[in-house]
Amino acid sequence: MTSRAHACRICQSPDHDLVLDYGEVVPADAFLSSIDAAAHEQRYPLTLVLCQRCFHLQILEVLDPALLFVNYVWETGIPASIQRYCREFADAVLARSGGPASPSVFEIASNDGTMLKEFRSRGCRLLGVDPARNIARKANSAGIPTIPDFFGERVARDVLTEHGQWDVVIARNVLAHVADVHGLIAGLRLLLTPQGTAVIEVPHLLDLYRELQYDQVFHEHIGYHSLDSIIRLCAMHDLVVFDVEHPWVHGGSVRAYVGHAAADRRALPTVAGMLAEEETAGILGRQAWQQFGDRARTQKRLLRAELSSLREAGKMVVGYGAAAKGMSMIQFCELDDQLVAYVADKSTMKIGKFAPGAHIPIVSPDRMRADPVDVVVVFAWNFAREILAQEKAMRDRGVRFLHPIPEPHYL
């Protein structure tokens, strides 16, 4: 089930410009249990557009959220570097919360509870909500109370009735996944204590543009946010951004610290600084995004040319990282198992399955280490440093690691 938006999800303008047409693709996390299942794959259009009024970047298509999230295959706690990130995140939030030393913490889209565990270790009262029932079960089993549901005003009112308001409300890597962004922010506002701190974190539109991260675009990611768009959205709900950071996670993110307008928390210079950086880069205008589409098509041509050259030379090429961004790039670039023999990934939820659309096998990293591999395409480029350190033995024997963006280059 899919629908197409005819208005900006932030400002409701009906006018938009086409940025990039991804064609008809399979949802990036719809892994196949067998090759035979390919006969029943469902493809949907994927179209990236720019609002002509407020320059919010979004996709037109919205798939049924139950199709994408009820049985989810992304677990926060798998990459080792995410553990470090969670510690850094908790330290940064507690330093800015301005409330009790151990505030109450509510997390929207809390996944397997990895982040909430960091706050639990600091003595905080916790509650999470996540629509992925399989993941929510794991979190509850690990002692992280988690409501298995889609967050919005309805759930927020239920939580308010049963648990009251919260000193800290976290919306980390979820705003991009939600079609009803106003419902999410309205629910967040309901749950936030009068002097509380909300934290909204998403992949930064500025990094997406600069580094040509077009693979961040897939059906789960409905909107792509700048600090400008977050401030606009919050202002419509009497919320203000008073501080901002640029953490490294997900290829560069914007982490906005938000409070009630009535709390009168004065914006720090970091906010004006990032807004000026976005303006200077041109991401709040049409020309930059017209160029973005051209750059993405060029990258596709260059990557296919390099992989074709390696195949003709008899080299064995595999991929690393079966995250959604890798599956998005594989489909956009029209790769198959003739160009990439298989993709290695640590997730036991993916090993033994096949990539959506492309039907490339997903295998354990142990298989990759044992095979006579010549080149590894780092589809999980946001963890490139961790992967290079992890696979030092492969590098020592001469295996090359190919980073695909913004243009293909060897690490």
Domain chopping of the chain, boundaries:
2-60, 80-284, 304-410
Instruction: Specify the pTM.
Output: 0.90
Closest by CA to 55, choosing from 9, 4, 22, 23, is 9
Contact yes or no for 340/360 (Cβ under 8 A): yes
Cα–Cα distances in angstroms (integers) from residue 105 to residues 82, 88, 98, 174, 261, in the given order: 19, 16, 13, 16, 20
Confidence at residue 75, expressed as pLDDT on a 0 to 100 scale: 52
Confidence at residue 83, expressed as pLDDT on a 0 to 100 scale: 83
Q: How confident is the model at residue 299 (pLDDT cuts 50, 70, 90)?
A: very high
Instruction: Please state, in angstroms and rounded to a whole number, the distance separating the CA atoms of residues 313 and 167.
Output: 59
Confidence at residue 247, expressed as pLDDT on a 0 to 100 scale: 92
Q: Which amino acid, residue 62?
A: V
Domains 80-284 and 304-410 share a fold: yes
163 pLDDT exceeds 60? yes
Q: Which amino acid, residue 341?
A: A
Instruction: Please state, in angstroms and rounded to a whole number, the distance separating the CA atoms of residues 157 and 136.
Output: 20
77 pLDDT exceeds 60? no
Element (H, E) at 244: strand 239-245
| pLDDT, tens only, 272-281 | 999 999 999 9
CB atoms near residue 389 (< 10 Å): 11
Number of residues that this document lists for the chain: 411
Lookup: tokens for 40: 């029943």
Contact yes or no for 157/126 (Cβ under 8 A): no
80 pLDDT exceeds 90? no
385 pLDDT exceeds 80? yes
Domain 80-284 has CATH 1.20.1250.20: no
Confidence at residue 82, expressed as pLDDT on a 0 to 100 scale: 81
5-14, 169-178, 190-199, 229-238: lowest mean pLDDT where? 5-14
78-82, 311-315, 317-321: lowest mean pLDDT where? 78-82
| pLDDT, tens only, 318-366 | 999 999 999 999 999 999 999 999 999 999 989 999 999 999 999 999 9
| pLDDT, tens only, 186-230 | 999 999 999 999 999 999 999 999 999 999 999 999 999 999 999
Burial class (CB within 10 angstroms; exposed 0-12, middle 13-18, buried 19+) of 147: buried
Q: Which amino acid, residue 344?
A: A
Average pLDDT, the chain: 93
Confidence at residue 72, expressed as pLDDT on a 0 to 100 scale: 52
108-135 as b/e: b if 16+ CB within 10 A = bbbbbbbbbbbbbeeebebbbbbbbeeb
78 pLDDT exceeds 70? no
Confidence at residue 148, expressed as pLDDT on a 0 to 100 scale: 94
Contact yes or no for 355/323 (Cβ under 8 A): no
Cα–Cα distances in angstroms (integers) from residue 327 to residues 266, 335, 380, in the given order: 42, 10, 10
* Beta strand extents in 16-153 (DSSP E only): 16-25, 44-51, 57-59, 61-63, 105-108, 126-129, 146-147
| pLDDT, tens only, 35-59 | 999 889 999 999 999 999 999 999 9
Confidence at residue 68, expressed as pLDDT on a 0 to 100 scale: 59
71 pLDDT exceeds 70? no
Instruction: Please state, in angstroms and rounded to a whole number, the distance separating the CA atoms of residues 305 and 189.
Output: 50
Question: Which residues 6+ apart lie within 8 Å of 231 measured at CB?
Answer: 240, 241, 256, 271, 275
Q: Is residue 360 helix, strand or coil?
A: coil
CATH class of the 304-410 domain in this structure: alpha beta
Burial class (CB within 10 angstroms; exposed 0-12, middle 13-18, buried 19+) of 392: exposed
Q: How confident is the model at residue 248 (pLDDT cuts 50, 70, 90)?
A: confident
Report the DSSP beta bridge partners of residue 127. 106
- Give, rounded to a whole angstrom, the gap between the first and last alpha carbons of the chain: 41
28 pLDDT exceeds 70? yes
| 239-257 average pLDDT score | 93
The percent of residues in the chain predicted with pLDDT above 90, rounded, is 87
Confidence at residue 4, expressed as pLDDT on a 0 to 100 scale: 67
Confidence at residue 333, expressed as pLDDT on a 0 to 100 scale: 98
Confidence at residue 1, expressed as pLDDT on a 0 to 100 scale: 53
